[in-house]
Structure 1
Amino acid sequence: MDIKKVLVADAVDNACIELLKKYSIEVDCKYKLSKEQLVQEIKNYDAIVVRSDTKVTAEVIQAGKRMKVIGRAGAGVDNIDVNAATANNVIVLNTPGGNAISACELTCSLITNLARNVTPASASLKAGRWDRKLYSGHELSGKTLAIIGLGRIGREVALRMQAWGMTTIGFDPIVSAEEAKQFNTEFLPLEQIWPRADYITVHTPLIPATRNLINQKVLNSCKKGIRIINVARGGIINESDLLAAIKSGQCGGAGIDVFEQEPPTDPVTLELIAQDKVVATPHLGASTGEAQIRVAVEVSEQIIALTGKSKDYTSTAGVINRSVLDKRA
């Protein structure tokens, strides 16, 4: 595939740019372009690299007459119109493993934080109070963690939280019970998971089947005091239903890193964030130096692999729409 010129539209680690240049691919970095600016610029490029800020819409894709590849330096591709890309024979690829460890470690941090009330207790002490009894927590040993999505991140979470003594159960439509057993996780249908879980963490993409997956009905099916963690995508958990469950006491706490709107301005989301039982972070799942380097390198390696110019880089494991790759092969 002939890829001569790449637009990097969101800030990525310089390792991406250096590696592409090493293979004689011209790279322009133009950040925070408006939709109109992007529509104009994309005409001049064979590929675009984005993170989560830039929206690669159908209009942008149709304007990119030269465009062959959309590379996402990260896992989620909900900011890319994959259907439009496929219809226009544009390959969409991501870096599914690049931020797995970072997202896993943040998930584990939120679980342990919720168990011991670390964030509210710290805020209380800094405000001059000594509320030892108020912030008494519980042990994780012996508790059950439900993992929805047993891919790279979900598996890493399972292994780490098992070391804390947690029992792990989970569900994933493309993972078998035998595969789940290999990392000591009991595979169950969703309706059997909800009443057993003490904690629920979600690690799925945001697609129609997962939008509002955790909702009022699910929360009411859980044990009183269930704790919810989302380091995946905003919209998987219904924020209004979660807020109501926290206010009623049905939900004992939540660790939320991602929101339906980012940055959030919706009153419901802001009220959710403000709850004492919520530990909220501003989409930090992949925000480690190590993850940023990995996703930057992985996206450039795959673009180079598509050119066929390298014997070192031949894998395109992150291609989302394989049918386009097959057509172009």
Structure 2
Amino acid sequence: MKNDRKKVVVSEFIDASAVESLKQHFDVHANASLVDQHDTLRGLLADADALIVRNRTRVTQALLDAAPKLIAVGRLGVGLDNIDLAACAQRGVQVLPATGANARAVAEYAIAAALMLLRGAYLSSASVAAGEWPRTALSNGREAAGSTLAVIGFGGIGQLVAQLARSLGMRVAGYDPQQPASAACWKETGAQCMTFEEALRAADVVSVHVPLVESTRNLLGAAQLSMLKPHAVVINTSRGGVIDERALADALKHGRLGGAALDVFADEPLKAGSPLAGAPNLVLTPHIAGLTVQSNERVSTLVAARVTQALLEGERDSQRREGVST
């Protein structure tokens, strides 16, 4: 008996409830290890109608060539630098990100990192447990209230970070070439629209929320980091390539920067021998700022719903065309 159900392949982890939702309509092949099983993934895509990925699966022209029936690519997240958008557009493949679904998780991570780095006291557990008592050295932390946060990239996540920071009594400066000074977001969040250099020079905390495109690659390099106050801290939850990691490590090691928290890197996983290794006052996490129990459920549910809608609408359009032709 012919199986007319459309096929959905999921190559990275997704919430189980979203898989069950997809299975109501489609044949679903969900395996978080497919991202590392290239031949198996290509084989499954030969007759697939949709592919759902996170950030590690590279949706290239070659992968699209292996999936001639593909209608949609669901992205369990918002960054699209792992997807060849031009190739998808040329093939008529819809790209469906989870816009907004993990914004709260990322924003809370940025604020938590800012509080930890400003205070400077939360990396001392090993020394205290060993019997040391660095009370004097750790008594010069800074409070968030009255400090200035520079939000670089004032989209949805950046605006939420600004709102959370304002609730802590922080001043917020923002830079985004896509948001004119007249945009409503500045007044709505209480942030001050500044130029890039003005925002950096004013900052006690810099939080980066930009996509990785040619204009943002190494956006924060040695010259830009030198504009920051020596006690300033930098947080990056966007994409690794927007910060020059060698320049950042150098600034930390030579006391020209107060601290940094990086959740993303130019190469992921971070390779052994990275210039970041051994840098002081540095918090490194493995691209998890947007991942919480709640956000994973929201992201997975949203992408599953968008993929379902795209495939069902495509099916109805096909049926209508067949009806007209007959």
CA displacement 1:175-210 (0-9 Å, x = unmatched)? 232321211011112122121111110011111111
User: Which structure's relative contact order is higher, taking Cα pairs within 8 Å and 6+ residues apart?
Assistant: 1
Q: 2:101 is matched with which residue?
A: 98
Cα distance in 2 for residues equivalent to 1:276 and 1:119: 13
Question: Is the counterpart of residue 290 in structure 1 residue 294 in structure 2?
Answer: yes
Once residues 203 and 3 of structure 1 are traced to their aligned partners in structure 2, the CA distance between those partners, rounded to angstroms, is 40
**Deviation, structure 1 residue 262:** 1.7
Q: 2:157 aligns with which of 135, 148, 153?
A: 153
**Is 1:9 equivalent to 2:11 in the alignment?**
yes
1:308 Cα shift?
A: 4.6
Counterpart-to-counterpart distance in 2, 1:269 and 1:275: 8
Q: Deviations over 1:33-91 (max 9, x none)?
A: 33333222211200000112222222101111001111111111222222221222211
For residue 49 of structure 2, what is the amino acid of its counterpart? D
Residue number in structure 1 paired with 2:74: 71
- Contact 1:38–1:60, Cα closer than 8 Å, also in 2: no
| 1: CA distance, partners of 2:209 / 2:7 | 34
Aligned ranges for residues 115-154 of structure 1 at < 5 Å?
Answer: 115-136=118-139, 137-154=141-158
Give the corresponding residue for 1:226. Answer: 232
Give the SS at the match of 1:61: helix
Q: Does 1:53 align with 2:56?
A: yes
Q: Contact 2:245–2:276 at 8 Å: present in 1 too? A: no
1:230 shift after superposition: 0.6
What are the superposed Cα offsets for residues 208-227 of structure 1, whole Å, 9 maximum, x if unpaired?
11111111010112222221
Aligned to 1:317: none
Structure 1 gaps, min length 5:
310-329
Q: TM-score, normalised by structure 2?
A: 0.89
Residues paired across the two proteins, number: 306
Taking the aligned partners of 2:111 and 2:299, their CA distance within structure 1 comes to 21
Paired residue type of 1:240:
R
- 2:165 counterpart of 1:164: no
Name the counterpart of 1:37.
40
Is 1:246 the equivalent of 2:252? Answer: yes
RMSD: 1.8
Q: What are structure 2's unaligned runs of at least 5 residues?
A: 314-326
| Alpha-carbon shift at residue 21 of structure 1 (Å) | 2.0
Q: For the Cα contact (< 8 Å) 1:146–1:169, is it kept in 2?
A: yes
Q: Which residue number in structure 1 is paired with residue 263 of structure 2?
A: 257
Q: Where do 1:193-204 residues align within 5 Å?
A: 193-204=199-210
Q: In the alignment, residue 271 of structure 2 is paired with which amino acid?
A: T
**Identity score, percent:** 35
